Structure 1
Amino acid sequence: LAEELEWERQEIQRFREQEQLLVQKELEELQSMKQQILAQQEEERQAHLMMQKETYAQQQQQLEQIQKLQEQLRLQLEEQKFRQMYPDRDL
């Protein structure tokens, strides 16, 4: 009986060790998946950030063009006013 109990105890111990190894393996796989997902999210975040920077740069360029055009229009309007006020004068 003592031998049988010892054998069962050892069987239970082996089963627990196998279960522990399986759980450890699953945890490692999950950790690996988590790292891959985090890396992918970081890549996507970086790509999104680059797109935002490019969009911002384009908007800045457009704004500068608009401001230049506004300045040109302002100068043309001043010139027109001057010509209307002094039609006989050359600029």
Structure 2
Amino acid sequence: MVRHPVSKYTANTQLEHLHARYTGTGHADLSKYEWLAHQHRDTLSSIVGHPTLTSYLAIADGESMGRVKFEMTERMLQPCGPPPKKDDD
């Protein structure tokens, strides 16, 4: 079986599709703040999405699972604080 190399056009199309489908995938112009915010949001959504992790945190903090889910969801808005000011030259 002969494999043909993936053309540059096909690779770029697949990459654009990934970026459109999964917002957390990085690109060349991604700032450090944006990358960190994606990482934090992914972690928080994983904790909220897995009941055992939420239960573990609720027990460790002495809070209800509903409170932990609420706080994690609220932290997703600005997980790393306000965005830095952009320098427009």
Q: Smaller-chain TM-score range?
A: under 0.3
Q: What is the TM-score when the length of structure 2 is the normalising length?
A: 0.24
Q: What is the TM-score when the length of structure 1 is the normalising length?
A: 0.24
Structure whose alpha-carbon radius of gyration is higher? 1
By relative contact order (CA 8 Å, sep 6+), the higher-ranking structure is 2
